[in-house]
Amino acid sequence: MAKMTKSQFMAMVGEMFGLSKKDAGEKWEAFVTMALKDVRQDGEFNLPGLGKLVKKSRAARQGRNPLTGATIQIPAKTVVKFRVAKSAKDSVL
Protein backbone atom coordinates (compact mmCIF):
# COMPACT_ATOMS: atom_id res chain seq x y z
CA MET A 1 0.00 0.00 0.00
CA ALA A 2 1.68 3.21 -1.17
CA LYS A 3 -0.35 5.77 0.75
CA MET A 4 -2.61 5.05 3.70
CA THR A 5 -5.43 7.28 4.91
CA LYS A 6 -6.13 7.75 8.60
CA SER A 7 -9.28 5.65 8.24
CA GLN A 8 -7.34 2.79 6.62
CA PHE A 9 -4.67 3.07 9.32
CA MET A 10 -7.27 2.88 12.11
CA ALA A 11 -8.93 -0.12 10.45
CA MET A 12 -5.58 -1.92 10.20
CA VAL A 13 -4.63 -1.16 13.81
CA GLY A 14 -8.07 -2.22 15.00
CA GLU A 15 -7.79 -5.48 13.09
CA MET A 16 -4.29 -6.17 14.48
CA PHE A 17 -5.36 -5.70 18.10
CA GLY A 18 -8.97 -6.88 17.89
CA LEU A 19 -10.43 -3.40 18.44
CA SER A 20 -13.14 -1.49 16.67
CA LYS A 21 -12.05 1.28 14.35
CA LYS A 22 -13.40 3.84 16.82
CA ASP A 23 -11.48 2.36 19.78
CA ALA A 24 -8.30 2.19 17.71
CA GLY A 25 -8.77 5.86 16.78
CA GLU A 26 -9.24 6.87 20.43
CA LYS A 27 -6.11 4.97 21.49
CA TRP A 28 -4.11 6.50 18.64
CA GLU A 29 -5.24 10.02 19.58
CA ALA A 30 -4.24 9.36 23.21
CA PHE A 31 -0.81 8.15 22.05
CA VAL A 32 -0.28 11.23 19.84
CA THR A 33 -1.33 13.53 22.70
CA MET A 34 1.12 11.79 25.05
CA ALA A 35 3.97 12.03 22.51
CA LEU A 36 3.39 15.73 21.84
CA LYS A 37 3.13 16.51 25.56
CA ASP A 38 6.44 14.70 26.13
CA VAL A 39 8.14 16.62 23.29
CA ARG A 40 6.81 19.90 24.70
CA GLN A 41 8.15 19.13 28.20
CA ASP A 42 11.32 17.09 27.65
CA GLY A 43 12.31 18.18 24.14
CA GLU A 44 12.13 14.68 22.63
CA PHE A 45 10.01 11.53 22.41
CA ASN A 46 11.61 8.20 21.51
CA LEU A 47 9.87 5.55 19.41
CA PRO A 48 12.20 2.53 19.78
CA GLY A 49 13.05 0.93 16.46
CA LEU A 50 11.45 3.77 14.48
CA GLY A 51 13.02 7.09 15.53
CA LYS A 52 12.38 10.07 17.74
CA LEU A 53 10.53 13.37 17.72
CA VAL A 54 12.90 16.21 18.65
CA LYS A 55 12.10 19.83 19.50
CA LYS A 56 14.63 22.22 17.89
CA SER A 57 15.08 25.98 17.95
CA ARG A 58 15.53 27.52 14.55
CA ALA A 59 17.52 30.78 14.47
CA ALA A 60 16.25 33.97 12.85
CA ARG A 61 17.46 34.38 9.29
CA GLN A 62 17.13 36.45 6.17
CA GLY A 63 14.95 35.24 3.35
CA ARG A 64 13.90 36.49 -0.03
CA ASN A 65 10.42 36.99 -1.42
CA PRO A 66 10.52 34.96 -4.66
CA LEU A 67 7.90 37.18 -6.32
CA THR A 68 9.46 40.59 -5.69
CA GLY A 69 13.03 39.67 -4.76
CA ALA A 70 12.77 41.78 -1.60
CA THR A 71 14.80 40.67 1.43
CA ILE A 72 12.69 39.80 4.46
CA GLN A 73 13.54 38.86 8.04
CA ILE A 74 12.30 35.41 9.08
CA PRO A 75 11.87 35.26 12.86
CA ALA A 76 13.29 32.55 15.13
CA LYS A 77 10.92 29.73 15.98
CA THR A 78 10.71 26.29 17.54
CA VAL A 79 9.98 23.30 15.29
CA VAL A 80 9.49 19.55 15.74
CA LYS A 81 11.62 17.21 13.64
CA PHE A 82 11.59 13.45 13.26
CA ARG A 83 14.89 11.59 13.28
CA VAL A 84 14.68 8.12 11.80
CA ALA A 85 16.45 5.39 13.79
CA LYS A 86 19.43 3.63 12.21
CA SER A 87 17.71 0.25 12.50
CA ALA A 88 14.71 1.60 10.53
CA LYS A 89 16.99 3.05 7.83
CA ASP A 90 18.92 -0.21 7.55
CA SER A 91 15.78 -2.33 7.26
CA VAL A 92 14.40 -0.15 4.45
CA LEU A 93 17.64 0.17 2.52
* 9-65 confidence digits (pLDDT tens): 999 999 999 999 999 999 999 999 999 999 999 999 999 999 999 999 999 999 999
Which CATH number is 43-93 given? Answer: 4.10.520.10
* pLDDT for residue 93: 85
C-alpha neighbours within 13 Å on the C-beta side of residue 85? 11
Burial class from Cβ neighbours inside 10 Å (0-12, 13-18, 19+) for residue 24 reads buried
User: Model pTM?
Assistant: 0.75
